[in-house]
Amino acid sequence: MKNLLKRLVSEDRGQDVIEYALLAAGISIVLIPTVPAIGQTLDAVYGNINTEVGNLPQ
């Protein structure tokens, strides 16, 4: 058991994978609530552009 614990502490082959997974999880936590807000803002911007283009004289 002691050897197993030593090996787990000193083994670093899977460390990069875990770090990347934690990084992806952190980014996802930030992006998930942000994306709908950005989508609504973009929808409003393009709606305003559409309205202004529709009001241009022909």
pLDDT for position 40: 93
Domain contains 5: no
According to DSSP, residue 42 is labeled H
User: Is 29 among the domain residues?
Assistant: yes
Does residue 40 form part of some domain? yes
Residue 17 falls inside a structural domain: yes
Task: Write out pLDDT tens, residues 1-56.
Answer: 788 777 766 766 677 788 889 999 999 999 999 999 999 999 999 999 999 999 98
35/56 Cα distance (integer angstroms): 32
Q: How far is CA 17 from the centre of its chain?
A: 18
Distance CA 6, CA 32 (A): 39
Task: State both tokens at 47.
Answer: 């709606």
Position 4 in a domain: no
Per-residue pLDDT, 39: 92
Model's pTM, two decimal places? 0.50
Position 11 scores a pLDDT of 66
Question: Range of 44's domain?
Answer: 13-54
User: Phi first, then psi: what are they for 16, rounded to 5°?
Assistant: -60, -40
Tally of domains within the chain: 1
